[in-house]
Chains A and B, each alone.
Chain A
Amino acid sequence: MSSSSFLYTRRRITNLVALSLSMVATLIGLIFLAWILWETLRQGIGALNLNLFTKITAYGEEGGLLNAMVGSLIIDFIGIAVATPIGVMAGTWLAEYANRTSLGQSIRFLNDILLSAPSIVLGLFVYTIVVLPTTTLTSGNTTFSGLAGGIALALIALPVIVRTTDEMLRLVPSTLREAALSLGIPQWKLTLQILVRAARSGIITGVLLALARISGETAPLLFTAFGNNYMTFNPMDKMSSLPQVIYQYANDPGEAMHAIAWAGAFVVTMFVLLLSLASRLVLSRNKVSHD
């Protein structure tokens, strides 16, 4: 009797310790989240001023981030503009045409791998296929460009969009397809005018998530868009972006540069968090309207 009550106590204590440790683990996660967000807010808001939005990086400590913000918007826009049509079409093919085929299954599988592939290698890939050939064409001047940066980001956004499109289309009830096909509608019309519409808010969510993902990307931009010190709207020119300027300024020894980098980090974080919030809202609104 005493040995069994000893065993019982031991089991209860093990249980208690393990469950308390699980709570500690959750607290650790939350503490790091709070720590990172708090410091980004504190340092970022402390460094915010009007110069950031009105001056370009050429002035250094006295300057701002205007050209980097404009560059980021242009590069992100190119990335999304390239990745969205390709991603939506590829996702549609996976869901509607190749759902059960072996080629479709393998591409879906490889797309999931591309989703977490190292972005720096994708950057080197774009460097090889975009920057190097144009460099050869222009007789040796290395032609880093905002366009190359946008294409690199498109490769990162692509698998996100493919995956959400694929998943959202597979959620569309098949009675919708059958009803349309029984009326004699060709499949392309069914896909474009009925299925994509039914899954529209899901697809928009995917695009927003992809935008959130690429707007903080730095590594592939270092050797595709490269960065500059002046204002440019020309995508064929070198272009700076917020993450790239943050990286550059954070490695600078000057304290004033660090402050600007923190302000940039704050802007990027807010942008990304608002985007993920927006994507959730789009999805939840869709759920309500369908029920």
Chain B
Amino acid sequence: MQANVGVAASTMAQEARAHRDARHDRLFSWLLKGCALLVLACLLGAAGATLWGGRHAFSTFGWHFLVSDAWDPSTDTYGALVPVYGTIATSLIALLIAVPVSFGIALYLSEVAPPWLRTPVASAIELLAGIPSIIYGMWGLFIFAPFFADHIKPWLTNYLGGKPDDGKLSWVAQHVPFVGKLFGSDYPFGASVLTAGIVLAVMIIPFISSVMREVFQTVPSRLKESAYALGSSTWEVSWDIVLPYTRSAVIGGIFLGLGRALGETMAVTFVLGNAMQLSPSLLDPGASIASTIANQFSEAAGLQKSTLMALAFLLFVVTFIVLLIARLMLRQLAHKEGR
């Protein structure tokens, strides 16, 4: 009798405890899930908040907003063309420079360099990614832009540009279309679309090269060894075996860099010159979406503020799509590996 009661009591206690544990487990998993959903909420919220803030600009200017190069606070007319052009131009220049350099770095570090050198050099390149963008901005404004204006720009305007100092057009400017316009400029300072593109390139090189290096190392060595056994050179193995095998991830890495370049604010703001003008020359100052927001948002009101929000929405959507493509491309290789 006594024993039965004891057993019943302990079973009840056990059941109560099991119930309590189950309840706690449920609460705990809800709490964790809620936190994870916050990540989702951040993305949706950022898109929603900028769309909501930009609704006046979108409804006032309509589709014309995207193709208008107007930017006049005195008459309250704004168009997105100048900052959108600046964003795309600087990012494309950055990619044009960063992609071959990053490929070279990844190639050197995965195939060429002696093993003892690989880790230190790779960490050094990755250190570039850790430097805050404001430092790139300071360096760009005070060191690189003057250097560019003194040494690189005169060469470009004289040998490629349509407005050389001595008035004599070079052969290239005369015979190759567009080049004269791209490198012709009367503007004497170093801040320009090209300068911003170069600084951006330095910023995204570590991202692209570390992705490339990582995926190059995933290439099965029997593939490479087979090619070497057939007499291929290191370059042929890299170009004909490694690169095709990792193509999707390499493109993913490039898009990752593009996503970074599109949204980069401080470094670009310092060296782009912040002129709300549309100039065909890469040596003239310009404006990007992010630099326009950074420069004008604090003092803006009314329609101008709404326009800046609308620009932020455009930037966010475009970056989102670019990064989406990047991650999908990078995932393909992971699937191939069976991860």
Contacts and interface: CB of A to CB of B under 8 A. Distances in A.
Interface of A: 11-12, 14-15, 18-19, 21-26, 28-30, 32-33, 35-37, 39-40, 43, 85-87, 89-90, 92-94, 96-98, 104, 107, 109-114, 116-122, 124-125, 128-129, 155, 158-159, 162, 186-188, 191, 212, 215-219, 222-223, 226, 243, 246-247, 250, 258, 261-262, 265, 268-269, 272-273, 276
Contact of B46 (A30, A111, A122, A250): A122
B259 interface: yes
B108 A26 contact: yes
A40 B139 contact: yes
A86 B323 contact: no
Contacts of A113: 43, 320, 323-324, 327
Nearest to B24: A188
Contacts of A186: 21-22, 24-25
A24 B128 CA distance: 17
Interface stretch (B32-40, B66-74, B161-169): B32-40
Nearest to A262: B138
Contact of A124 (B24, B105, B109, B293): B293
19 contacts: A22-B107, A24-B104, A29-B105, A29-B209, A37-B131, A39-B143, A90-B32, A93-B33, A104-B36, A110-B39, A116-B259, A117-B316, A117-B319, A118-B316, A124-B50, A162-B39, A186-B22, A188-B24, A212-B130
Nearest to A276: B130
Contact of A246 (B128, B134, B205, B236): B134
Nearest to B104: A25
A12 B231 CA distance: 11
B36 A39 contact: no
B32 A97 contact: yes
B294 A219 contact: yes
Given A30-B121, A117-B323, A120-B294, A272 B35 contact: no
Contacts of B220: none
Nearest to A105: B331
Contacts of B327: 109, 112-113
